[in-house]
């Protein structure tokens, strides 16, 4: 299906702890042209080793600005198994939209499902990656950031960065702008 005809889908984003473990999942379910449901969960996967040092440095240097995820938030998160179970129920049979998700976020979800004995996620024919869509349209498959796509499509990104649900909202805005531009 062409991405411009896509009507029912879930836009999602993950945040990781620096050790390629999920610490937050954010998603928006869209039916037709309406956002019908939001999903957000913090996962109790604290960073360890050098990732912990980097994580502490980043959160300390940000001084709590922009609502960054803190170690306290992570410690009060739910276990990965429960988070993934909830996310998979939320997604259901919907198509999946995200930015740079094919080799990134989707793979982490699949690994998490396998690690927690939760089965497999069949994404064949269901993935719509804004980075890959742009590459196909532009004839240039190189990596492009969400920020650069937003600028190209005239989407104003909010202040909050590196939180899954706000990033999913930004990806949705870009995806809708791409659909409109290429109808």
**pLDDT of 119 higher than 90:** yes
Dihedral pair phi/psi, residue 97, rounded to 5°: -125, 140
Query: Domain range for residue 94?
Result: 3-181
Q: Can you tell me the distance from the alpha carbon of 142 to that of 43, in angstroms, rounded to the nearest whole number?
A: 31
Q: Which two three-digit tokens encode residue 114?
A: 């396998």
Structural domains of the chain, count: 1
Q: What is the CATH number of the domain that holds 161?
A: 3.30.420.10
Q: Give the closest residue to 162 by CA, choosing from 37, 24, 27.
A: 24
What is the DSSP annotation of 94-133?
-EEEESSIIIIIHHHHHHHHHHTT------TTTEEEHHHH
Q: Which two three-digit tokens encode residue 62?
A: 């940000």
**pLDDT of 109 higher than 90:** yes
Mean pLDDT throughout 137-153? 85
Higher pLDDT residue, 48 or 174?
A: 174
Q: Is 46 exposed, middle or buried (0-12, 13-18, 19+ CB in 10 A)?
A: middle
- Specify the range with the lowest mean pLDDT, choosing from 45-49, 89-93, 119-123: 45-49
pTM across the whole model: 0.88
Q: What is the overall mean pLDDT for the chain?
A: 86
Higher pLDDT residue, 102 or 18?
A: 102
- Specify the range with the lowest mean pLDDT, choosing from 3-17, 64-78, 167-181: 64-78
């Amino acid at each position: 299906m062409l991405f411009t005809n896509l009507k029912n889908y879930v836009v999602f984003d993950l945040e990781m702890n620096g050790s390629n473990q999920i610490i937050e999942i954010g998603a928006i379910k869209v039916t037709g042209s309406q956002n019908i449901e939001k999903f957000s969960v913090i996962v109790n996967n604290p960073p360890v080793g050098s990732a912990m040092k980097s994580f502490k440095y980043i959160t300390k240097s940000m001084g709590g600005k922009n609502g960054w995820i803190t170690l306290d938030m992570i410690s009060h998160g739910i276990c990965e198994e429960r988070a993934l179970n909830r996310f998979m129920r939320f997604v259901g049979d919907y198509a999946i939209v995200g930015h740079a998700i094919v080799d990134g976020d989707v793979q982490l979800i699949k690994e998490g499902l396998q690690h927690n004995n939760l089965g497999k996620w069949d994404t064949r024919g269901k993935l719509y990656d804004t980075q890959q869509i742009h590459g196909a349209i532009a004839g240039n498959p190189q990596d492009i950031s969400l920020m650069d796509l937003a600028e190209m499509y005239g989407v104003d990104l909010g202040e909050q960065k590196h939180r899954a649900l706000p990033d999913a909202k930004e990806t949705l805005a870009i995806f809708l702008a791409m659909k409109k531009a290429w109808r």
